[in-house]
Chain A
Amino acid sequence: MRFLRRFFIRLSNFATGRRADQRACEEIAEHLALQKKEENLRAGMPPAKARMQAALKPGAAQAIRERHNAEQGLPLAENFLLDVRYAFRMLHRSPGFALIVIATMALGVGATTAIYSVIDATLLHPLPYPNPSELVRIEDDLPGVGAQDVSVSIPEWRDLENSGIFQYVALDYFASMNLTGSAQPTRIAYKGVTPNYFAMLGVGAQLGRTFDPGDNTPAFNLELVLSDGLWKRAFGADPRILGKTVRLDNDVYHVVGVMPPGFRDQGSSSEERNMDLWVAGGFAAPPFPPPLRNSRFGTAFARLKPGLSVASAQAHIDALVASLKKQYPADYPAQAAWTIRLIPLAETLVGNLRQSLILLFGAVCLVLLISCVNVANLLLARASARGREIAVRQALGAARMRLIRQLFTEGLLLFILGGITGFAVLFCARKFLLQFVPDSLPRLNDISISWGVLAFAMVVSVAAGTIFGLAPAWLTSRLNLAATLRQEGRGSNGSRQRSRLRHALVIGELALSLVLMIVAGLLLRSFWDLFKVQLGFNPGRVMAIEAWLPFPNDPKTDIYSTATQESVLLREVLRRNRTLPGVEEAAVGDRAALPLGHVKDDLNMFPLIREGQDVQSSQPPLIDTSIVSPEYFHLLGMTLLRGRLFVDQDLEDTPSIAVINQAAARAYWPDQDPVGKRVRLVRLRVAKPDWTTIVGVIADARTESLADAGIPQVYLDIYQHIAKDLAFFLRGPVDPAAISAQVRTQIQSVDSQLPVFRAETLDDVLSSSLSVRRFSMEMVALFAATALLLAGLGIYGTISFLVNEQSREIAIRLALGAQRSHILGMVLRQGLTLAAAGAGVGLVGALIVSRLIGSLLYGVSPYDLSTFAVVTAVLTAVAIAASYVPALRAMHLDPITTLHSE
């Protein structure tokens, strides 16, 4: 209590700057006067002597005043302010030094903060919903048949809802619809959800309401929720939108709500996250497939009961799965080994980006570390230049702790100024920098430079300043007073410890940059290998333009309900497209046929039932299915290995045929000829599919993933099977800017209700499929280059410093007749020793780190010898180049001037 009272009085005195100096002086003066009088009286001394005696007894009045003042305020804080003022003056006096240090730290902190802001938005706060930790994704796996995440069937969904584990279990799928009625038919990405979807997410509408979670309509309930974006775009933010009707794929829906502007749907692609429209239904009556246990449909999400952990929920689920297996043995055969997995929703959204982001953060932390080391090194170098100043201060009675505090304040100030600068630059350049972030990053729109990010930058700067500012301050204050003063400003030899620390710092810096460079080298090689990979198809000069046929809920209103009806449209559109300027070939397929450009989702993975091997209920393997026109294979340059491709004579009323790739042949008909085998593909909205005969095998092509050539594929003929999400492929020297409008005119002159959207060249699709890899490779390469530059500067600084320190020795050697080339060699050898030590340590570190990033590499071993060798050579070359300049200076030293100047 009393301590606190005293502290607050001192604090307020300090803050208000109130001083009772006058009072102290007066009290001391009165004290002396009283004392003088009394002593005079007592000893009868002559007055002059008595006054001296009186003054001597209590000690120096000045010191008393200082102590009095110290009690009055907070000396620690006052000294700190003094130190800061002094530090500013010192920095002002050597602006070059200050600039270099601040720029280095700004680079380190700015880069780290930039990556942190991305991580903050994606990894740390991935879900913009209340209580995000309760949200899980439910994945059904059939490990027995090698199938993962096979969706949930409607009866299973009901079981989950009734299990008592969850507050809500919702299903969703996402697809496209045509929004007609406005000037230009538009294709809209929508999500079909169960009515409890928004209740599960815990988000309400800004206008109207979301779906009623208690709604039990088995088919679509014909209610519609709009995104804020679409409401403004297509409906002019009409405040009376509620209850209005909207025609989607010829079906009439009425609007019940508009979501708030900041609402982002969950999902792993940017398309899903920027969803514009939601419709709800029970997923159990047409147009949905019949609700059977083995008819898997939709992705399930759930909100756990409050307080239930994912692990304990998983235990309940395991029990539920076991009892269901017993109850329905025919639906869950033992060999399929059906399981249900709960995954925290936050984890599923970031997916494989997590690794890339962690890699980037690791890389940027290394850069930060290197910049800190560099600054620490600079501070040490400066300390030796200030040796005399420190010695004089010590000689005048400065306590060591006081000196350390002052030097530390100077260092810390530099780090903080650097951090602030870095943050300011980042803040100003955020718009510019965000362009480089690939679109596929989740929550890209939510990346912001927030208070949290600012706090991060400040914490990082202060922490770095504390760690890397304290050691130089400690070592600087520790000098041999007499020796330093006697040297009178001749290049001091510095303390042995200090030079040892400097060498260790440079070696560390070199090692860290070697690690970064090797990681960058390995990523670069992976990227290059991927880029140069044999695609198995030819994307050159191919343009893909997408369209969407309506899919009304009532099949009777669908004018494209059979493949024959659709083929009239497709043949006519293809014929017209071939007449467009520059078009040499044209083909059409569904969106799954678009190489590398489609999101892998449930809607193009179908169970493959092999005749004589599988039955539908035995959980057959899922296979990637595309529907294409006969010209597709030739247009993309895919090679036929066996059998035949589709021909014009294959029609809806002729036997259904399919082409598979080699990987499918290997996987499902090992050691057999697949041509002539019959399969059933259980597709959505087709209750009882016909037997399909495999007529040909094509070579593997990397149409699904650049990194994986062997993904089984099956192709169906678009003239035998309806496809609603269309991609038109055009090969030839077309004008990419004009072609979209030309194709739209052609398509809409056949059917004016069809939306045409997204025209891309396959080369663009290809390169954007590499965007995340390219981004992380470029960033790491940038960081590595920065690290190399900093390490080069570090070694340059250290060797220059050594040359300075040894200039007397070198001059004497030269005066005694040493060869100049010998001096050059001597200095270079010092640089090389440092480089060799740094490379040695760095190689060990790189071996560890490269194993950690193994999963991010493609086609290159984590211990790739050539990468390691080249990078080490580059680092050594840079080290030699950086030592060469000071070595030249040493060589051209004039012995007479040097020795005279001493």
Chain B
Amino acid sequence: MQGTLVLMVLKTLDVLGPQHGYGIARRIEQISGDLLAVNQGTLYPLLLKLEHEGSIVSQWGASENKRRARFYRLTTTSRKQLQAEARDWEQTAAIIARFFEVQAEDLP
């Protein structure tokens, strides 16, 4: 799940622009139709890791509560990287999907 969560986080930031941690988690839950619950114990260390790796940057901003919150946004390099990884992911997903479509009688 770690790898896919990275993709989800990056894609969320790509679509929504700068977001705080809660916003990212909420967005992922919404998109997944509340099927995925993002554990903040996983999310925040992951965000820190991505920041260390240079994929995202963060700065303080004001939340809807009018309180300090850390906002994350993509860097330009990571935008390109995201596109490449999205393509990879689509390819992988397509391959896996095909495996499940194939029935025993379809085999030559």
Tell me the residues in window 19-42 of chain A with beta carbons closer than 8 Å to chain B beta carbons. 20, 23-24, 26-28, 30-31, 33-35, 37-38
Tell me whether A889 is interfacial, beta carbon within 8 Å: no
Contact between chains at A27 and B49 (CB < 8 Å): no
Chain A residues within 8 Å of chain B by Cβ, number: 30
Hey, which chain B residues are within 8 Å of A63, CB to CB? Answer: 41
Chain B residues within 8 Å of chain A by Cβ, number: 25
A26 to B22, CA, bound (A): 12
Partner of B48, one of A3, A58, A72: A72
- Please encode chain A, from 1 to 16, with 1 for each CB lying within 8 Å of some chain B CB and 0 for all others: 0110110011000000
Hey, which chain B residues are within 8 Å of A59, CB to CB? Answer: 39-41
Hey, which chain A residues are within 8 Å of B21, CB to CB? Answer: 27, 30-31
Tell me whether A71 is interfacial, beta carbon within 8 Å: yes
Contact between chains at B69 and A30 (CB < 8 Å): yes
Q: A5-B54, A68-B45, A71-B48 are in contact. Are A58 and B67 (CB under 8 A)?
A: no
Tell me whether B103 is interfacial, beta carbon within 8 Å: no
Tell me whether B76 is interfacial, beta carbon within 8 Å: no
A-B pairs under 8 A by CB, number: 75
Whole-angstrom distance from the CB of B51 to the nearest CB of chain A? 9
Contact between chains at B45 and A70 (CB < 8 Å): yes
Tell me whether B87 is interfacial, beta carbon within 8 Å: no
Q: A2-B54, A5-B54, A27-B70 are in contact. Are A71 and B40 (CB under 8 A)?
A: no
Tell me whether A57 is interfacial, beta carbon within 8 Å: yes
Hey, which chain A residues are within 8 Å of B70, CB to CB? Answer: 23, 26-27
Whole-angstrom distance from the CB of A66 to the nearest CB of chain B? 9
Contact between chains at B40 and A34 (CB < 8 Å): no
Q: A27-B69, A28-B40, A30-B22 are in contact. Are A5 and B48 (CB under 8 A)?
A: no
- Residue of A23, A28, A30, A72 with highest tally of chain B CB at under 10 A: A30
Hey, which chain B residues are within 8 Å of A23, CB to CB? Answer: 70
- Please encode chain B, from 56 to 73, with 1 for each CB lying within 8 Å of some chain A CB and 0 for all others: 000000011101111000
Contact between chains at A9 and B65 (CB < 8 Å): no
| Residue of B with least CB distance to A6 | B52
Contact between chains at A71 and B53 (CB < 8 Å): no
Whole-angstrom distance from the CB of B57 to the nearest CB of chain A? 13
A71 to B44, CA, bound (A): 9
Contact between chains at A28 and B44 (CB < 8 Å): yes
Contact between chains at A71 and B45 (CB < 8 Å): yes
A34 to B68, CA, bound (A): 12
Tell me whether B11 is interfacial, beta carbon within 8 Å: no
Hey, which chain B residues are within 8 Å of A316, CB to CB? Answer: none
Tell me whether A433 is interfacial, beta carbon within 8 Å: no
Contact between chains at A34 and B41 (CB < 8 Å): no
Contact between chains at B53 and A33 (CB < 8 Å): no
Whole-angstrom distance from the CB of A432 to the nearest CB of chain B? 55
Contact between chains at A34 and B52 (CB < 8 Å): no
Tell me whether A67 is interfacial, beta carbon within 8 Å: yes
Hey, which chain A residues are within 8 Å of B37, CB to CB? Answer: 57
Tell me whether A64 is interfacial, beta carbon within 8 Å: yes
Partner of A9, one of B26, B45, B52: B52
Whole-angstrom distance from the CB of B72 to the nearest CB of chain A? 10
Contact between chains at B26 and A38 (CB < 8 Å): yes
A10 to B45, CA, bound (A): 13
Tell me whether B79 is interfacial, beta carbon within 8 Å: no
Tell me the residues in window 46-81 of chain A with beta carbons closer than 8 Å to chain B beta carbons. 57-60, 63-64, 67-68, 70-72
A506 to B48, CA, bound (A): 52
Hey, which chain A residues are within 8 Å of B42, CB to CB? Answer: 67
| Residue of A with least CB distance to B81 | A2
- Residue of A37, A59, A71 with highest tally of chain B CB at under 10 A: A71
Hey, which chain B residues are within 8 Å of A38, CB to CB? Answer: 26
Q: A23-B70, A31-B22 are in contact. Are A5 and B53 (CB under 8 A)?
A: yes
Tell me the residues in window 1-51 of chain B with beta carbons closer than 8 Å to chain A beta carbons. 20-22, 25-26, 37, 39-42, 44-45, 48-49
A64 to B20, CA, bound (A): 17
A7 to B68, CA, bound (A): 28
Contact between chains at B22 and A5 (CB < 8 Å): no
Whole-angstrom distance from the CB of B45 to the nearest CB of chain A? 4
Whole-angstrom distance from the CB of A59 to the nearest CB of chain B? 5
A533 to B4, CA, bound (A): 87
A70 to B42, CA, bound (A): 12
Tell me the residues in window 363-401 of chain A with beta carbons closer than 8 Å to chain B beta carbons. none
Contact between chains at A33 and B41 (CB < 8 Å): no
A34 to B64, CA, bound (A): 8
Q: A30-B22, A30-B63, A30-B67 are in contact. Are A71 and B41 (CB under 8 A)?
A: no
A58 to B42, CA, bound (A): 9
Hey, which chain A residues are within 8 Å of B53, CB to CB? Answer: 2-3, 5-6
Contact between chains at A5 and B63 (CB < 8 Å): no
Contact between chains at B65 and A27 (CB < 8 Å): no
Hey, which chain B residues are within 8 Å of A20, CB to CB? Answer: 48
Contact between chains at A34 and B65 (CB < 8 Å): yes
Whole-angstrom distance from the CB of A12 to the nearest CB of chain B? 10
A63 to B41, CA, bound (A): 7
Hey, which chain A residues are within 8 Å of B25, CB to CB? Answer: 31
A606 to B49, CA, bound (A): 84
Hey, which chain A residues are within 8 Å of B67, CB to CB? Answer: 30, 33
Contact between chains at A67 and B45 (CB < 8 Å): yes
Contact between chains at A34 and B54 (CB < 8 Å): no
Hey, which chain A residues are within 8 Å of B63, CB to CB? Answer: 30, 34
Whole-angstrom distance from the CB of B71 to the nearest CB of chain A? 11
A-B contact pairs, 13 of them (CB 8 A): A26-B68, A26-B70, A27-B20, A27-B69, A30-B63, A30-B67, A34-B65, A37-B64, A57-B37, A63-B41, A64-B41, A70-B45, A71-B45
* A-B complex: 9 closest residue pairs judged by Cβ atoms: A6-B52, A71-B45, A2-B53, A58-B40, A64-B41, A34-B22, A71-B48, A9-B52, A31-B22
Q: A59-B39, A59-B40, A67-B42 are in contact. List 10 more A-B contacts (CB 8 A).
A: A24-B44, A26-B68, A27-B69, A30-B63, A34-B22, A34-B69, A35-B22, A38-B26, A58-B40, A72-B48
Which residues of A pack against B, CB within 8 Å?
2-3, 5-6, 9-10, 20, 23-24, 26-28, 30-31, 33-35, 37-38, 57-60, 63-64, 67-68, 70-72
